Amino acid sequence: MLVKASAPSSVLLVCLGNICRSPTAEEIFRQQIAIAGLSIKVDSAGTGDWNIGNAPDVRSQRHAKGHGYNISKLVARQINADDFREFDLILAMDAQNLADLQALKDSINNTSQAPLAKLALFSEEDPTYGGDDVPDPYKGDGDDFEDVIERVESSAKAWIESWKAM
């Protein structure tokens, strides 16, 4: 469980391939942060390497656009050790992503002793979806992509509200 703190200066959102959930979350978070008047750097990445350089899944783009989110210009990348130094908070879309991120963080030789990013589940602060995975819609249908947007909007708002309450 993450210890509550004031708003981070940077947040990285992570899923498996960085073509469905995390790019959608990146744009939703970016818009909600702007609306809240906060100044937070937001980016996304995947734990896997097979989509590096690809645009988000066309289905994710279509469903996001239907809700006013343009993710078409985002490009998939894989998380790396530097991300743990450059971001204050890394949010995982599901428990497996979180476990993979923790293993990567544990393997970093942190000679500078500078604090590494805190890790948490994306839904951790959300009273509606708290502790739930944001299910991967890749092998699903349109309803699965809509579910991602609903969950991400809810959890992003919950994080922002928790920071504003500090």
pLDDT beyond 50 at 164: yes
Tokens of 144: 């699965």
Q: What domains lie within the chain, and their CATH numbers?
A: 10-164 (3.40.50.2300)
Query: What is residue 113's predicted lDDT score, i.e. its pLDDT?
Result: 79
Q: Choosing from 83, 100, 136, 151, which is the catalytic residue?
A: 136
**CB 49, CB 80: distance < 8 Å:** no
Element (H, E) at 53: none
Q: 13 pLDDT band (50/70/90 cuts)?
A: very high
Task: Using DSSP, state whether 81 is helix, strand or coil.
Answer: helix
Fill in the DSSP letter of residue 78.
B
Q: What is the mean pLDDT of the chain?
A: 94
Q: Is 151 a catalytic residue?
A: no
Question: d(Cα 160, Cα 145) in Å, to the nearest integer?
Answer: 23
Q: Is 15 a catalytic residue?
A: yes
Q: 58 pLDDT band (50/70/90 cuts)?
A: very high
Q: Choosing from 20, 21, 57, 94, which is the catalytic residue?
A: 21
pLDDT beyond 60 at 2: no
Fill in the DSSP letter of residue 58.
H
Q: 1 pLDDT band (50/70/90 cuts)?
A: very low
Q: 79 pLDDT band (50/70/90 cuts)?
A: very high
Name the pTM for this structure.
0.95
Query: What is residue 3's predicted lDDT score, i.e. its pLDDT?
Result: 43
Fill in the DSSP letter of residue 41.
E
Q: Is 132 a catalytic residue?
A: no
Query: What is residue 25's predicted lDDT score, i.e. its pLDDT?
Result: 98
